Amino acid sequence: MAQKLIIDADPGIGDALAVLTAMADPAIDLLAVTATGGTVSGAQATRNIHYLIELVDPVRHPRIGQCHLPAAINDALPEITRTWTRLNGAEGLGDTPVPAADLHNRRESARLIVDLAREFPGEVRLLTLGPLSNLAVAADYDPQLCECLHSVVVLGGSVCAGGDVTAAAEFNIWADPQAARTVCQMPIQKLLVPLDVSSEPALGFDDVDVMCTFFQPSPVSEFVSSLLQFAIRGHRTYAATEGIPLHAVAALAVAAGAESFQQEAAIVDVELSGELTQGMTVVDRRRPSPVHGSNFSIVSSIDDVGVVDYFARAVRRICCS
């Protein structure tokens, strides 16, 4: 039976690749893709999601949740903004201009999450690829949300790898640390895919060249090829890496049960006020006590090669058919 899934995202090339993969995976029943503000504004995230879904035109279109939250990356953070733009493009999808789409049947992201959780109680897994703002708001809308959702998979945080937006903080947690702390306290099954693990699966130059060679001419394959080429050039030039890390695809593989991974229980909290550590994920990996238990399972390792293969199979489905 296909896993009912909601993806909450702020695309970004990485999130876009994960959304494309989810739409191509027959083991996933993608109910909705909800926009949030993070690497792009909520309005831009909504447009990017709408563009991706219309481009692929899956047999069953997922619903789209719209958002008006601001971007966490802005003019007040010039160095971070420049780096992100160089790696992802001005609007998040490389060189691709994204038209402003006027959605029909508009629904706020947090409300849509609540509605679908109620419609399919105990069946829906939520995968968050951006800041946790929508999940925190959804829990405020519906105090029974934790009883309705099956589970939550969170891409974010860091156990031992340090941060990517500051020395201590990973972006998705740093962008809305209060929401992240709220999610930490939610009584629901939660699985954290931290930077330590999500940064390991990556596409190298050879992987991208081989994929693009086998694409059949189509608007989808042209877009995916453009996205991959933009990302691989950007990471070599501006991040000094020889590949594209598949952070979001790794989290999707965990949410879909597509690849094997190891996990361990821990108590997770978020630093809210430290001058140097705001947004830092604080992970207590000591054996949980009978009194306090644990509030997260943390993915400690994943089949990196399997994640790359999972993505490659999905891309072939949508670009070679």
Contact 146, 188 (CB under 8 A): yes
Q: Looking at the DSSP assignment, which residues form a beta bridge with residue 5?
A: 30, 125
Report the predicted TM-score, pTM, of the whole model to 2 decimal places. 0.95
Please give the Cα distance from 224 to 42 (Å, whole number).
23
Residue 12 identity: G
Residues 6+ apart with CB under 8 A from 244: 13, 14, 202, 203, 208, 228, 231, 232, 235
Superfamily of domain 3-319: Ribonucleoside hydrolase-like (3.90.245.10)
Q: What is the pLDDT of residue 139?
A: 97
> Model confidence over 157-187: pLDDT tens digits?
999 999 999 999 999 999 999 999 999 999 9
> Model confidence over 236-268: pLDDT tens digits?
888 778 889 999 999 999 999 988 899 999 999
For the chain, strand residue ranges (E) read 3-9, 28-35, 63-65, 124-128, 151-155, 190-193, 202-204, 243-245, 261-270, 281-284, 296-302
> Model confidence over 187-198: pLDDT tens digits?
999 999 999 999
